[in-house]
Structure 1
Amino acid sequence: MADSQDIEKGSSGSLYQPFFHKDEKQQNSHDNGNLFMVILCTFVAVMGSCEFGSSIGYSSPTQQGIMEELGMSSEEYSMFGSILTIGAMVGSISCGRAADLIGRKGTMKMSSIISIAGWLIIYLSLGPLSLDVGRFLTGYGIGVNSYVVPVFIAEITPTHLRGALLTVHQVAIATGLLVAYAVGAFVSWRTLALTGMIPCAVMILGLYFIPDSPRWLAMVGCQAEFNAALQKLRGDTADVSREEAEIKDSLVTLQHLPKATVLDLFLKRNLRLLIIGVGLMVFQQFSGYNGVVFYANQIFTSAGVPPNVGSILYACLQIIVLSLGAVIIDKAGRRPLLMISASGMLLGSLLTGASFCLKEHELASDMGPMFTIIGIMIYMGSYCLGLGGIPWIVMSEVNEEHVVFSLAFK
């Protein structure tokens, strides 16, 4: 065990080791039981990601129906669409402490209950105020999920599968988005609100059949539950003694580290991780993705493209590209995919902007709709290939640094 001076300087290797060593890959790959349980846990967790997609996609196909039935103005509906992000911000800020106090499973269950309450309020709404309250609550729920789902998957997954399974988080968001667009084209806005509760119900039910994060159980001192959860994840015949020792050693190391402060983020040894992790998330959020998703129908309508067709097409493309990314991400690397993603998003934005410029000046008006569809498809496909999912993976990979974990996430 390293002494406290070594730990403070960051020279202790145990803190920076991956959760599972490479030589365990072959041992784990021979146990079908552990793979099944890891996949089951991931499936249950990404129901929160499906809820994420359903929530952000809800405002696009329902805009006309809500505005006509409730007599809302464009400004009131813009508030309804955007208040989701305010709720998500509050949820993401407050969920770190909850994840440590009640566990990853408890936090996911809490977020599902809050989201169900939000959807019910939207379903029963008779005016803008209740709509905004319901939308805020669903935003809070997805804000919690945006943190706890990737962390839970990272903590239960072997290193050689972590990149691929964390990408499933983004695939599930795209799936929820596609369902919202596809179902929203045929049902009323109230019925679509009821469908938004389905992922929450599946998650609540599924949580009763999966173990909590072994790392969290060890952190709170539940030794028997920790051993049982780790054995369940790795299979009944797997030898988990080495992994148990490594998790315990890393947690002991964290406990001996000095208490982190905000100023510690800007120390030389932490600054690079801060810039990488937080910087990627900032670029992701300022890329304009949410604006396109929230008002996709209006964008396509303004460009002269059938809105339901355009929205469903690009939602399908997202699933295809994200599935491809899950396969190649660990082979191609994070940086090349991010560079390709940023370049593609730039091209897609230029094409989309050009389509509206042509329409505004009444030049080649027949080319405008085609430029819009191609631009949005390139933009969304490029986002999903890199900037959509990789920042979540990078954050989970650098969160073993004690300062970044305790401050940037909490």
Structure 2
Amino acid sequence: MAIEQYRDVESGEANGLQDLQEPFIQEGKVAACKNVEADNERVENGSIGMVLLSTFVAVCGSFAFGTCVGYSAPTQSAIREDLNLSLSEFSMFGSLVTIGAMLGALASGRITDFIGRKGAVRVSTGFCITGWSAVFFSKGSYSLDMGRFFTGFGIGVISYAVPIYIAEIAPKNLRGALATTNQLMIVIGASVSFLLGSVITWRTLALAGLVPCISLLVGLCFIPESPRWLAKVGRGKEFQAALRKLRGKDADVSHEAAEILDYTETLQSLPKTKFLDLFQSKHVRSVVIGVGLMVCQQAVGINGIGFYTAETFVAAGLSSGKIGTIAYACMQVPLTVLGAILMDKSGRRPLITISASGTLLGCFLTGAAFFLKGQNLLLGWVPVLAVAGVLIYIAAFSIGLGPVPWVIMSEIFPIHVKGTTGSLVVLVNWLGAWVVSYTFNFLMSWSSPGTLFLYAAASLLTILFVAKLVPETKGKTLEEIQACINS
């Protein structure tokens, strides 16, 4: 019953039962389905004030994530000039955040299971504060790089811990809406970094990165730990108190508490999955889809274009990259909201296909601008094409390729392999982010139009990959999705 009722702690999504033992399916599935139908009609009567406060505090971490990701784009020229860094040294600085994030993502599962969701967020915030402080006080590349690495490790843990915490505290009728705030706040944080970076110094911008971190540390003192984690580690009294605090003291939490305990007991009875188990025939297509989507997401060049937006505009012939960067920042937030709205209306496949088509067009236009500049043709049109291409690219990426792969990833894996597959997919994503962010400046030095056309080709391959392998998951139960994948 609890498996159907409760959505997986790692993703907030319902999980399939097909891999549980057959006797369990026969005894519990019919009753669970009836219970889900009844619960879908039931209105949650508890207070949601503490849930909203807890979510707001948690997404301060998402905001910190975004400020870190958006830091290098508006600061490249100033940091290189002030610290006398070569292009190679700045590329290492820009990409170290992804190396740190890869290690943070790998460690995040064990950290969140060992010290709790709040404890993991505290640890990650400590790393971010240390990192921003090192960047602020840096006098050379060594301390600058160490600071970037520490902030990367912090956001690697945050990228795992914050969505889990939100999924575990939210009532089921609000879980989807609250889960979208994570991605939204990442985008807002990056946009704020872009905007502030155009008017303040890079050291002051690093100091500003401390604000969401400190806010998060303070806010954690006023919100409860995840009830589901407390139940998992056997802290019964604290589990009851946390659940009651989240649902309101007058709410009847006995039904939900029983389901959480039932789910926890069932989860502990499932066999532990080894890495090699992911390549069994019943899982391999899900792994190919999940990993493939993350490769596609990074291969279109988002971390290169996003990290070095201002320099890209200047290279295309604009006198300053600030106007384009500000436009970039202002577009991201409303388009991410639009993507969240369209996801359950248009479906996953059409949205990601349209998005990849848009990134293809944006890369082609920007590449054409660099080509014309190199050939001294139509020079008056070069800046217009470059800005239009980048903005079309960002608009298209924000509504589809940004959020959709994460949603599909949360839907296609069975419950007992989700932890292992989730770590693999996150690792692949951050590894791809590092490769793109580190190689972008070198590729642009090799051939600016060639680099953009390469990303356009990756966008085309993404369209073909989605058309050939990715199933539509909108409106389907997890059992139906698994049946579709394994058919």
* TM-score under structure 1 length normalisation: 0.91
Cα deviations by residue, 1:80-117 (Å, 9 ceiling, x for unpaired): 11111111111111111001001111101110111000
Once the two structures are superposed, residues 277-317 of structure 1 have per-residue CA deviations (whole angstroms, 9 ceiling, x without a partner) of 33323322333111112111100111123311111111111
The answer to whether residue 266 in structure 2 is matched with residue 266 in structure 1 is no
> 2:124 touches 2:155 (CA, 8 Å); kept in 1?
yes
Q: Report the residue type matching 2:87 in the other structure.
A: S
* Whole-angstrom CA distance in 1 between matches of 2:242 and 2:349: 34
Aligned with 1:275 (options 288, 303, 313): 288
In 1, the alpha carbon distance for the partners of 2:215 and 2:23 equals: 42
Q: Which residue of 2 aligns with 1:316?
A: 330
Q: Give the Cα separation in 1 of the matches to 2:299 and 2:222.
A: 38
What is the match of residue 135 of structure 1? Answer: 148
1:8-407 equivalent positions in 2, closer than 5 A = 8=21, 12=25, 21=36, 23-25=38-40, 27-31=42-46, 33-34=47-48, 36-305=49-318, 306-397=320-411, 401-407=415-421
Q: Distance in 2 between matches of 1:401 and 1:298?
A: 44
Residues 315 and 29 (structure 1), Cα distance of their counterparts in 2 relative to 1, 3 Å cut: farther
Superposition deviation, residue 196 in structure 1: 0.6
Identity within the alignment, %: 49
Alpha-carbon distance, 1:122 to partner: 0.8
How far is the alpha carbon of 1:394 from its aligned partner? 3.4
Return the alpha-carbon distance in structure 1 between the equivalents of residues 406 and 209 of structure 2: 23
Contact kept in structure 2, 1:61 and 1:181, CA below 8 Å: yes
Deviates more, 1:136-145 or 1:286-295: 286-295
SS at match of 1:236: coil
**What's the TM-score, normalizing by structure 2?**
0.77
C-alpha spacing 1:377/1:163, structure 2 compared with 1 (3 Å): farther
* Whole-Å separation in 1 of the counterparts to 2:248 and 2:313: 50
Deviates more, 1:95-104 or 1:258-267: 258-267
Distance (whole Å) between structure 2 residues aligned to residue 269 and residue 213 of structure 1: 32
How far apart are residue 126 of structure 1 and its match? 0.8
Range with bigger deviation, 335-344 or 269-278: 269-278
**Once structures 1 and 2 are overlaid, which stretch shifts more, 197-206 or 22-31?**
22-31
- More divergent stretch after superposition (46-55 vs 266-275): 266-275
Contact 2:272 2:416 in 1 (8 A): no
3-state SS in 1 of match to 2:200 = coil
Deviation at 1:9, TM superposition (A): 5.7
For residues 181-227 of structure 1, the C-alpha deviation after alignment (integer angstroms, 9 at most, x for no partner) is: 11111211111110011111111111111122222111111112222
Specify the SS of the correspondent of 1:46. Answer: helix
Residues in 1 aligned to 2:37 and 2:313: alpha-carbon distance in whole angstroms = 48
Letter in 1 for 2:405: P
CA contact (8 A) 1:27 1:238 kept: no
Relative to structure 1, the CA distance from residue 240 to residue 22 in structure 2 (aligned partners, 3 Å threshold; closer, same or farther) is farther
* Distance (Å, rounded) in 1 between the aligned partners of 2:23 and 2:60: 37
The number of equivalent residue pairs is 403
* Cα drift, residue 332 of structure 1: 3.1
Judge conservation of contact 2:61–2:162 (CA < 8 Å) in 1: yes
Q: Is the 8 A contact 1:8 1:258 kept in 2?
A: no
Q: CA contact under 8 A between 2:336 and 2:399: conserved in structure 1?
A: yes
Q: CA deviation at 1:254?
A: 1.8
- What letter corresponds to residue 157 of structure 1 in structure 2? A
* CA distance in 1: counterparts of 2:332 and 2:193, whole angstroms: 14
2:361, 2:251 → 1: CA distance? 49
* Amino acid paired to 1:75: S
Report the equivalent of 2:476: none
- Stretches of structure 1 that go unaligned for 5 or more consecutive residues are none
Verify the 8 A CA contact 1:398 1:404 in the aligned structure 2. no
Classify 1:163/1:331 alpha carbon distance in 2 versus 1 (closer, same or farther; 3 Å): farther
Q: Distance in 1 between matches of 2:419 and 2:180?
A: 20
User: Alignment partner of 1:102: what SS?
Assistant: helix
Aligned with 2:73: secondary structure?
coil
Cα RMSD for the two superposed structures: 2.5
Q: 1:61 to 1:10 in 2, by over 3 A?
A: farther
- List alignment gaps of at least 5 residues for structure 2: 3-17, 425-487
CA 1:394/1:247 → structure 2, altered by over 3 Å: closer, same or farther? Answer: farther
